[in-house]
Structure 1
């Protein structure tokens, strides 16, 4: 294992928190499985403007369309993922992000934002904070953020991976415990519940649920889903 943690901090962050070359190479073969929980959609208008940030090949947007939603937008940092999404769902609106996490959308543009298995692909603390702040910006007051991601695992294989990366990370404090490298070269992160709570502190909690998901490399992992709301104007 050889993570690029000892280069200049800004270069390391740029590399680890985007990894565009990895996702472009993986676009044709990877499958994503984080489940959509229909009861959490029950109170949302079918005319709501919904953004799937880190949409990949459009799997979750396709499921939302099957539930009757029509105003659907998907964005991703990977041009190859977006190309696959456009091929699979030619009637949907997809765009590649040129300067993530910044979006061209105006403030308060969306009623709902989905963030499914994206934080796990953004190892850095500061990068995760910037991403969540950008999503807060584009959400309307009273809008909903639906997060699905992976928790710290307690099995020996994962603990060993976390420990290996924690040693390599000495001197680069922006990558917290829970970072690891997959066998095919992606640098990913699992999260404590405490970190996710702190990360989403500017939102009002609505609900949480624990899920079991199959990772993109076929391992069963424990995840969490969080539904929260941007405070309404008073």
Structure 2
């Protein structure tokens, strides 16, 4: 199946797990963890790395001394990669995203690193954030790192082409190797967090999984 067909299938079904069990399972993820935002988080805090991939962020937090960190991801291939690399990490496959097995108000910190970019559909994004808010305890933190709209001609042409073909929100596009992704309007990302208190925001530059330098943003929000 060529990349265009994979993108078509993903757009119709709302998911593209086949990509993350195939080409996506070999990628390197680079969004940085801003340690300053974790300074007030207790070392025994209950932490979840949602969409953990191969556990890069899970491992970083564990190595920082946080002792109750776990990661979940829909891709068995990525989770298995993480288990091989770091058998000490608590990584699990999430069978029916965004549904989590955690009770309500049972987590102190959830990290969502480069996950919304993999969930192009707006309704699916809202459902994901609602599930994360459900599992956060009062005062708990949600730390998001994701991609903003790019201004270069290459990306803008991809946004326009995909919107014309599928009617998706501006910013959705298919990569050359078959991933369906989304870059975000910053106001839209903030609006997703309407049920939370936005505490901090920082702009970042990241190397994408396909080696392109791009702009991103990180947001830290708290559940009241």
TM-score by length of 1: 0.91
Aligned-residue RMSD, C-alpha: 1.7
- Counterpart in the other structure of 2:221: 228
Residue 65 of structure 1, CA deviation: 1.4
- Counterpart in the other structure of 2:112: 115
Q: Tell me how many residue pairs correspond in the alignment.
A: 222
Specify the SS of the correspondent of 2:22.
helix
Specify the SS of the correspondent of 2:160.
helix
Counterpart pick for 2:72 among 51, 61, 75: 75
Question: Mean Cα displacement is larger for which, 69-78 or 19-28?
Answer: 19-28
State how 1:111-190 maps to structure 2 within 5 Å. Answer: 111-170=108-167, 175-190=168-183
Specify the SS of the correspondent of 1:207.
strand
Specify the SS of the correspondent of 1:126.
helix
- Counterpart in the other structure of 1:55: 52
- Counterpart in the other structure of 1:215: 208
Residue 2 of structure 1, CA deviation: 3.7
Specify the SS of the correspondent of 1:64.
helix
Q: Deviations over 1:165-192 (max 9, x none)?
A: 010013xxxx311000101010100000
- Counterpart in the other structure of 2:191: 198
Question: Is this contact kept in 2: 1:20–1:78, CA < 8 A?
Answer: yes
Question: Is this contact kept in 2: 1:27–1:84, CA < 8 A?
Answer: no
- Separation in structure 1 between the aligned mates of residue 188 and residue 24 of structure 2, nearest angstrom: 29
Specify the SS of the correspondent of 2:123.
helix
Q: Does 1:86 align with 2:83?
A: yes
Residue 6 of structure 1, CA deviation: 7.8
Question: Is this contact kept in 1: 2:7–2:179, CA < 8 A?
Answer: no
- Separation in structure 2 between the aligned mates of residue 186 and residue 4 of structure 1, nearest angstrom: 8
Q: 1:115 to 1:215 in 2, by over 3 A?
A: same
Greater helix content: 2
Structure 2 residue ranges without an equivalent (≥5): none
- Separation in structure 1 between the aligned mates of residue 159 and residue 72 of structure 2, nearest angstrom: 29
TM-score by length of 2: 0.95
Which contiguous aligned blocks of 4+ residues in structure 1 show a shift greater than 4 angstroms? Answer: 3-7
Question: Mean Cα displacement is larger for which, 134-143 or 60-69?
Answer: 60-69
- Counterpart in the other structure of 2:61: 64
State how 1:93-112 maps to structure 2 within 5 Å. Answer: 93-112=90-109
Question: Is this contact kept in 2: 1:27–1:57, CA < 8 A?
Answer: no
Q: 1:4 to 1:56 in 2, by over 3 A?
A: closer
Specify the SS of the correspondent of 1:188.
strand
Q: Does 1:20 align with 2:17?
A: yes
Q: 1:75 to 1:6 in 2, by over 3 A?
A: closer
